[in-house]
C-alpha cells in the first residue's frame, strides 16, 4: 500500500491531494477515523524510507515535497520532446499491474485508466519509432519491437502490422508471407474483419510471395551508409502525397548502390500503399532512338487513369510503343510526324498527368546514363512539364551523364562507404566472436574495395567460396588476417569470381552483356546453342546474384558485371557473341522495328555482313509491299541508327537487287503485278516524273 500511495501522490496535479480524498481512495471499506489512521501510518512508513522531509503536511492536504525518480515521468518527458525511441526504451510494461486491495477500488480504477493511457502512448511511440527506422532504411532492427508490441497489445492489429511492415521492408518475403498467414488465421478465429491498413499490407505480402525468391548465397546486407538519402526520398514522397511535385537525381559511380537505394525506397513506398513505376535504361538500347521513352510510356500506360487521355495523345503513345495498342484499342499509331520528339514529350507528359490524377505516383528511372539521346529529351521534357501533379521522380545515373535529369534537379551524391559503414555492413551479415577481428576484416575489405559495396560483397563471396573466410550460424571466422590482406589486394574479385564459372555460364553472361538488355530464354538458347543452356546454369548465376528475372526475360543484375565479362572475353569471342545474338533476333522475323534494329547492331558489331544484308533486304521488301517507296539509303540509315556510316549505307545498298534498290523500278513492277495499266491516270507522265524526282537515289549511294 505505501508504494501505491506514493505513486498516486507523485502523479497527482501539483503532487498534492486532500486527506479525505486519499482516505476514501485507499481505505473506502473503513470508517473515517480508521481510514485517517491508516493514512498516517503509511505516510510514516514512507518517511522512514524517503526521509523526514518527504511530505509537506498541511491542515487538510498532503503534498510530496521530495523529488522522486520515476520511469513514468521519464517516459512522459520523452513523449513530450517527441523522442519515440527513448520512450520505447523507457517503457517497462503495464503501469502498476497486479495490485489489489479491498478498500482501494478507486485507486484501482485510476490505475486502470492510467495504465491504458500510457499503453496507448507506448503503442504510438513504438509505431513512430518503427516508421522512423523504416524511413532511414534500418527497419530490420525493429522486428523485436514489433513482437514486443504484439505481446503488450495482443488484441491490437497495430503490432501485427508493424512486424509485417518491417519484414516487407527488409525483403524477408518468406517470413512476411508466413506472418501474413498467421494474421489472417488470428483474425478469422476472432471473427474480425481486418482494418484497411492491415488489408493492404496482407495483400502486398501475399502478392510478393506468389513468386518464390531464388536461393542466394546470403550476402544481402542492410542498406548501410545510405540512410540520409533514403530518408530524403521518403520525406519527398510524403510531400508528394500532400500534393507537391518533387524530383531528385541520385548520382554515383558503378557499384555504389544506386539501384539498391531506388529499390529500397520503392519497396517502402509500396508498403505505405503508394504506386511505383520502375524503369531502367539499358546499355544495349542506347543507340535505339526513343527506346527508353517507349519503355516509360508502356509502364505508365498500364496504370489506372491512363485511359483518360485524348485520342491524339493515345495515337502518339501507340506510335512510340506498339504494345500500348492493347491499352488503347482502336487507336492507330501516329508516326513520322514533324517535331516528333516534341509531340511525344507532350503526349508522355499528358499520360503522366492522367495517371497521377488517379493517385500519387513515384516514378523511378534507373541507369539514365544509358538512355538514348531522343529519350532523354522526351522524358526530361515530360517531367519538366509537371505542374501541381503529385509525382515523385527519382532518376539515378553515373557522374557526368545525368540523362533525363535537368540541371536544376537536386542531386543526391552517393559516396564510397566509410570504414565505419563497412563495419556496419559486416555486422548485418554476421557477428564476430572477437570484435578486434571484425574491425581488422572491415579495414581489409574497405581498403581493397575503395568503399564500393559491390566490390566488398564480391570479395567476401569469393573469400567464402575459397575457404579464406567462413561464416557459420551467422558468425564470421577469420583464420589468417595477414594472408587475407595480401590475397585481397592482389585480385579483382569480380573478375576472379567470373573466371570460376562454367563455360555455359560465361557464355550466357557474355550474351547478356553484349546485348545490354533483357532477353527471352528462347533468344538466349538460339544465341549460345540449343541444348547447351541448362536450368542449373541459370540457377547458379541467379544464386550468385549475376542474373535476375525480369518477367519472362533474363537480364544482368548489375552492368559492372557485364563490363567485367566483356573485358575478360577476347575480341573474336565478343564478335561471335554479337553475331550469334543478331541471328537469334533475326529468327523472330523483321516485322518488329525495335528487334530488327537491335539485330542490325549486333550483326554490325559481329562483322556478319551477309546476315546484315539479308536483314536489310527483308526490311526493304516489306517496306515496298506496304507501299513505302522511301529511298534505300534512308531505310538503311533507319535500320542502322547511330551506326550508320556512308560506307555501311553504300554496302547495304549495293547488296540489294536493282529492282528493290531503286524505288521507281520497284514501283512499276509492283503496280504491274497487280494488273494496273501503265497508261492509267495513276501512271501519268507527270506523276511518274514526280515519283522519279522524289525517289532518285542520292549521289553518295553509289
- Go through the chain and tell me how many residues it has: 702
Is pLDDT of 421 > 60?
yes
Categorize the per-residue pLDDT at 698 as very low, low, confident or very high, splitting at 50, 70 and 90: very low
Closest CA to 209 of 179, 173, 182, 161: 173
* Per-residue buried b or exposed e for 268-288, using 16+ beta carbons within 10 Å of the residue's own CB: bbbbbebbbbebbbbbbbbbb
- Predicted confidence at residue 689, as pLDDT, reads 40
For residue 15, the 8-state DSSP code is G
DSSP state of 136: T
Residue 553 buriedness (CB in 10 A; 0-12 / 13-18 / 19+): middle
DSSP class per residue in 178-223? HHHHHHHHHHHHHT-PPPHHHHHHHHHHHHHTSSPPPP--S-----
CB 99 within 8 A of CB 4: yes
Q: Which residues pair with 16 in a beta bridge?
A: 63
* C-alpha cell read off for 329: 484499342
Provide the pLDDT for residue 141. 67
- What is the reported pLDDT for 177? 84
Percent of the chain past pLDDT 70, that is, above it, reads 87
DSSP output for 322-384: GGGGGTSTTPPPP-S-TTHHHHHHHHHHHHHHHHHHHS-EEEEEE-GGGS-HHHHHHHHHHHH
pLDDT band of residue 101 (cuts 50, 70, 90) is low
The residue with cell 528462347 is 522
Q: What is the pLDDT of residues 536-567, one digit of tens each?
A: 788 778 777 788 777 778 888 777 788 888 88
Query: Residue 80: which pLDDT band, with cuts at 50, 70 and 90?
Result: confident
Per-residue pLDDT, 395: 93
**Comparing C-alpha atoms, which of 178, 156, 158 is closest to residue 168?**
178
Place 105 in a pLDDT band, splitting at 50, 70 and 90.
confident
Mean pLDDT taken over the chain: 80
Mean pLDDT across 669-689: 43
Give the pTM.
0.63
In this predicted structure, the answer to whether residue 599 has a pLDDT above a threshold of 60 is: yes
What pLDDT was estimated at residue 674?
46
* H or E segment to which residue 477 belongs: strand 475-477
How many Å apart are CA 565 and CA 511, to the nearest integer?
10
pLDDT band at 56 (very low <50, low <70, confident <90, very high): confident
Which one, of 165, 217, 206, lies nearest residue 184 by Cα? 206
pLDDT in tens, 321-361: 888 888 888 888 776 666 788 888 899 999 999 999 888 99
pLDDT band (50, 70, 90) for residue 278:
very high
Cα angle, residue 352 at apex, residues 349 and 354 outer, rounded to 5°? 110
Tens-place pLDDT, residues 400-418: 766 676 667 888 999 999 9
Q: From residue 163, how far is each of 160, 175, 325, 512 by CA, in Å? A: 5, 10, 42, 39
Average pLDDT score over residue span 590-609: 82
**Distance of alpha carbon 319 from alpha carbon 301, whole angstroms:** 13
Which tops the pLDDT comparison, 417 or 173? Answer: 417
Q: Tell which residue, 505, 281, 309, 475, has the closest CA to residue 380.
A: 281
Question: What backbone phi and psi angles, to 5 degrees, belong to 138?
Answer: -120, 40
Amino acid at each position: 500500500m505505501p508504494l501505491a500511495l506514493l505513486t498516486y501522490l507523485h502523479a497527482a496535479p501539483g503532487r498534492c491531494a486532500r486527506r479525505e480524498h486519499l482516505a476514501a481512495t485507499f481505505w473506502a471499506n473503513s470508517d473515517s477515523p480508521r481510514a485517517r489512521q491508516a493514512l498516517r501510518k503509511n505516510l510514516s512508513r514512507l518517511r522512514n524510507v524517503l526521509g523526514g522531509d518527504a511530505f509537506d503536511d498541511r491542515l487538510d492536504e498532503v503534498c510530496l515535497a521530495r523529488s522522486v525518480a520515476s520511469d513514468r515521468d521519464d517516459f512522459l518527458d520523452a513523449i513530450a520532446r517527441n523522442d519515440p525511441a527513448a520512450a520505447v526504451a523507457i517503457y517497462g510494461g503495464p503501469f502498476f499491474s497486479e495490485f489489489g486491495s479491498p478498500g482501494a477500488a478507486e485507486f484501482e480504477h485510476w490505475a486502470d485508466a492510467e495504465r491504458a493511457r500510457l499503453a496507448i502512448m507506448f503503442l504510438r511511440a513504438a509505431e513512430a519509432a518503427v516508421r522512423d527506422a523504416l524511413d532511414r532504411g534500418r527497419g530490420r532492427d525493429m522486428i523485436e519491437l514489433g513482437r514486443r508490441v504484439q505481446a503488450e497489445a495482443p488484441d491490437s492489429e497495430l503490432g501485427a502490422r508493424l512486424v509485417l511492415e518491417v519484414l516487407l521492408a527488409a525483403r524477408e518475403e518468406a517470413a512476411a508471407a508466413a506472418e501474413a498467414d498467421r494474421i489472417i488465421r488470428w483474425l478469422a478465429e476472432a471473427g474480425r474483419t481486418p482494418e484497411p491498413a492491415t488489408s493492404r499490407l496482407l495483400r502486398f505480402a501475399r502478392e510478393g510471395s506468389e513468386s518464390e525468391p531464388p536461393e542466394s548465397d546470403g550476402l544481402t546486407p542492410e542498406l548501410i551508409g545510405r540512410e540520409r538519402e533514403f530518408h530524403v526520398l521518403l520525406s519527398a514522397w510524403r510531400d508528394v502525397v500532400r500534393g507537391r511535385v518533387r524530383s531528385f537525381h541520385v548520382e554515383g559511380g558503378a557499384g555504389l548502390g544506386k539501384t539498391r537505394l531506388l529499390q529500397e525506397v520503392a519497396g517502402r513506398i509500396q508498403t505505405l500503399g503508394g504506386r511505383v513505376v520502375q524503369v531502367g535504361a539499358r546499355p544495349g538500347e542506347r543507340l535505339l532512338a526513343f527506346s527508353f521513352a517507349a519503355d516509360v510510356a508502356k509502364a505508365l500506360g498500364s496504370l489506372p487513369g491512363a485511359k483518360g487521355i485524348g485520342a491524339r495523345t493515345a495515337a502518339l503513345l501507340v506510335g512510340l510503343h506498339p504494345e500500348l495498342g492493347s491499352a488503347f484499342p482502336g487507336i492507330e499509331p501516329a508516326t513520322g510526324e514533324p517535331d516528333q520528339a516534341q509531340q511525344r514529350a507532350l503526349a508522355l507528359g499528358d499520360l503522366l498527368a492522367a495517371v497521377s490524377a488517379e493517385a500519387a505516383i513515384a516514378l523511378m528511372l534507373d541507369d539514365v546514363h544509358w538512355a538514348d539521346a531522343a529519350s532523354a529529351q522526351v522524358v526530361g521534357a515530360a517531367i519538366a512539364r509537371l505542374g501541381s501533379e503529385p509525382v515523385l521522380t527519382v532518376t539515378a545515373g553515373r557522374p557526368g551523364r545525368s540523362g533525363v535529369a535537368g540541371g536544376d534537379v537536386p542531386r543526391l551524391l552517393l559516396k564510397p562507404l566509410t570504414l565505419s559503414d563497412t563495419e556496419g555492413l559486416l555486422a548485418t551479415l554476421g557477428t564476430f566472436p572477437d570484435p578486434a577481428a571484425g574491425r581488422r576484416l572491415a579495414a581489409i575489405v574497405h581498403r581493397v574495395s575503395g568503399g564500393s559495396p559491390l566490390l566488398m560483397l564480391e570479395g567476401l563471396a569469393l573469400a567464402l567460396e575459397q575457404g579464406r573466410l567462413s561464416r557459420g550460424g551467422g558468425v564470421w571466422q577469420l583464420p589468417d588476417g595477414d594472408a587475407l590482406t595480401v590475397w585481397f589486394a592482389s585480385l579483382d574479385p569480380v573478375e576472379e569470381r567470373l573466371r570460376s564459372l562454367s563455360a555455359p555460364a560465361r557464355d550466357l553472361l557474355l550474351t547478356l552483356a553484349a546485348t545490354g538488355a533483357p532477353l527471352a530464354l528462347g533468344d538466349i538458347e538460339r544465341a549460345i546453342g540449343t541444348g547447351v543452356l541448362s536450368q542449373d546454369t541459370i540457377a547458379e548465376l541467379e544464386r550468385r546474384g549475376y542474373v535476375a528475372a525480369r518477367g519472362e526475360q533474363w537480364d544482368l543484375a548489375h552492368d559492372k558485371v557485364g563490363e567485367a565479362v566483356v573485358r575478360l572475353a577476347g575480341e573474336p569471342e565478343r564478335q561471335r557473341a554479337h553475331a550469334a545474338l543478331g541471328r537469334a533476333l533475326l529468327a523472330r522475323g523483321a516485322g518488329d522495328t525495335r528487334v530488327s534494329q537491335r539485330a542490325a547492331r549486333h550483326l554490325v558489331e559481329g562483322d556478319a555482313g551477309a546476315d546484315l544484308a539479308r536483314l536489310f533486304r527483308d526490311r526493304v521488301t516489306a517496306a515496298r509491299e506496304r507501299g513505302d517507296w522511301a529511298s534505300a539509303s534512308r531505310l538503311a540509315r533507319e535500320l542502322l541508327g547511330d551506326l550508320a556510316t556512308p560506307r555501311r549505307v553504300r554496302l547495304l545498298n549495293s547488296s540489294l537487287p536493282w529492282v528493290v534498290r531503286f524505288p521507281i523500278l520497284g514501283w512499276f513492277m509492283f503496280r504491274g503485278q497487280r494488273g494496273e495499266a501503265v497508261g492509267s491516270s495513276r501512271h501519268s507522265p507527270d506523276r511518274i516524273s514526280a515519283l522519279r524526282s522524289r525517289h532518285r537515289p542520292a549521289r553518295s549511294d553509289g
